[in-house]
Amino acid sequence: MTQPTRPLALSLTAAQFDSLPMTGTRPIAYRDLFASHADLPQATRRWAQAQGLDLRALTLRSRERGARSQKFLFALREGLAVESVLIRRHDGYTACISSQVGCAFACRFCASGQAGLKRNLEAGEIVEQVARLGPKVNRIVFMGIGEPLNNYDNVLKAIRILRDRRGLNFPTTGITLSTIGIPKGLKALREEHLGINLTISLHATTDESRAALIPGSRKHPVREVVERALSWAERHNRDVTFVYLLLAGINDSRADLERLVAMLGGQRARINLMRWNPVDGIKLGRTEDRTLLAFRERLARAGIPVVVRDTQGRDITAACGQLWLRDLNGRALAA
Ligand code: SF4
């Protein structure tokens, strides 16, 4: 794996910024680092040059516009690429950002997992995606390419930088981390005081069906994933959202439903039920309407807040990773 050599200015925490010698150049403020990419002041450029830092790491390669969303393809310094999506909501904009180049988990429903993991993104490369999507962004979701808990240190550092009052000052409750649920990462996350939201891409109630859908999760028992997530919810006094992508004949049986109820009933949990819409090249079947309704009704009866989202629906923010990126490449969102 090739790593960029010059350190990134956007990887600096405020404390690291303060500890830099300001000699030989006009001092700048920490918030100056986050200025709009188009007009980074000369003073900031000179400061970065004097410090031996790269101010920016991403070069815009393409921009695809959908009805409610735009996908940005950014080239990284060594030539790899990363995708970010800007989604318009009725009350603002969501930046859907990537945490890794590629992904090691190889989910069957996700294109970016198939090529494997190339490398982790640095904190500054994560922060820059948000900065580049513009000042209207008031929500951030780690639902782009990569598994954020697999790049724990850089993702956590990026969140702290994004939230720093002296920098972008991003609202504390406006950040959602979406993960397939790595128990070790969830355990560590439980002890962090970040004010973020947590979404778990569950998709299965048995280890066998989960391993078939998310091969990279084979060594993480589903029970442990759920327990760790619920423990995070208790500790932070907020609900955790479980995403369940219904797939015909794989995870949509009556037994799956009852296991789901037993796992999440009476807990600080919500469920986003998603329905698969067939895509070329991925052999997964669409659950029938009546099965979807049965899941929704049974979960609601069990007192679990449940919403239904369609992978080709208008609301793409609840999907994990490439679900929505793939959709953006397809017809549904552009239609
Ligand atoms: S869905 Fe998420 S975890 Fe799964 S392969 Fe894609 S990016 Fe990785």
The beta strand positions in the chain, using DSSP E, are 59-65, 69-75, 81-89, 92-96, 100-102, 117-120, 137-142, 175-179, 197-201, 240-246, 269-275, 306-310
What amino acid is encoded at 165 in this protein? R
Per the CB < 8 A criterion, the answer to whether 258 and 295 are in contact is no
Q: What is the model's pLDDT at position 110? A: 79
Residue 63 lies in a domain: no
Atom of ligand 1 nearest to the CA of 144: 7
Per the CB < 8 A criterion, the answer to whether 94 and 137 are in contact is yes
Q: What is the model's pLDDT at position 255? A: 98
Residue 154 lies in a domain: yes
Residue 118 lies in a domain: yes
Residues 49 and 88 grouped into a single domain = no
Count of residues in the chain: 335
Residues 42 and 143 grouped into a single domain = no
- Residue 228: how many CB atoms within 10 A of its CB? 23
Residues 274 and 232 grouped into a single domain = yes
Atom of ligand 1 nearest to the CA of 145: 7
Residue 256 lies in a domain: yes
Determine the structural domain holding residue 25 and report its residue range. 11-55
Residue minimizing CA distance to atom 2 of ligand 1:
321
Catalytic residue from among 64, 78, 83, 110: 83
Residues 46 and 91 grouped into a single domain = no
Active site (annotated) includes residue 83: yes
What amino acid is encoded at 20 in this protein? L
Q: What is the model's pLDDT at position 71? A: 85
Ligand 1 in contact with 117 (CB < 6 A)? no
Residue 135 lies in a domain: yes
Residues 30 and 94 grouped into a single domain = no
Q: What is the model's pLDDT at position 112? A: 67
Residues 40 and 160 grouped into a single domain = no
DSSP string computed for 228-252: HHHHHHHHHTS-EEEEEEE-TTTT-
CA distance 65 to 283: 27
Per the CB < 8 A criterion, the answer to whether 132 and 58 are in contact is yes
Ligand 1 in contact with 147 (CB < 6 A)? yes
CA distance 301 to 298: 5
Residue 113 lies in a domain: yes
Residues 235 and 322 grouped into a single domain = yes
Tell me if residue 45 falls in helix, strand or coil: helix
Residues 39 and 90 grouped into a single domain = no
Please tell me the distance between residue 84's alpha carbon and the centre of ligand 1 in angstroms. 14
Number of domains in the chain: 2
Per the CB < 8 A criterion, the answer to whether 174 and 140 are in contact is yes
Residue 252 lies in a domain: yes
Residue 236 lies in a domain: yes
Active site (annotated) includes residue 320: yes
Task: Kindly report the backbone phi and psi dihedral angles of residue 313, in degrees, each rounded to the nearest multiple of 5, phi listed first.
Answer: -75, 180
Pocket test for ligand 1, best of 99, 145, 282, 322 (most atoms within 8 A of CB): 322
Whether pTM exceeds 0.75 = yes
Identify the bridge partners of residue 85 per DSSP, sorted by sequence position: 71, 96
Q: Which position has the token pair 């600080």?
A: 268
Residues 50 and 149 grouped into a single domain = no
- Residue 54: how many CB atoms within 10 A of its CB? 18
Residues 217 and 172 grouped into a single domain = yes
Ligand 1 in contact with 103 (CB < 6 A)? yes
Residues 247 and 290 grouped into a single domain = yes
For residue 276, which of 250, 304, 241 has the smallest C-alpha distance? 250
Residues 304 and 155 grouped into a single domain = yes
Q: What is the model's pLDDT at position 334? A: 25
Mean pLDDT in runs of 10 for the chain (335 residues)?
77 96 85 86 92 94 84 89 89 92 86 80 97 93 92 98 95 90 97 94 96 93 98 97 94 97 98 81 86 97 91 39 40 26
Is the alpha carbon torsion for 36, 37, 43, 48 positive or negative?
positive
Q: Which DSSP category does 25 fall into?
A: S
For residue 176, which of 125, 112, 243, 114 has the smallest C-alpha distance? 243
Taking CA atoms, 144 is separated from 82, 303, 332, in Å, by: 9, 30, 18
Q: What is the model's pLDDT at position 1? A: 53
Atom of ligand 1 nearest to the CA of 103: 8
Q: What is the model's pLDDT at position 322? A: 43
Q: What CATH code is carried by the domain that includes residue 134? A: 3.20.20.70
Residue minimizing CA distance to atom 4 of ligand 1:
107
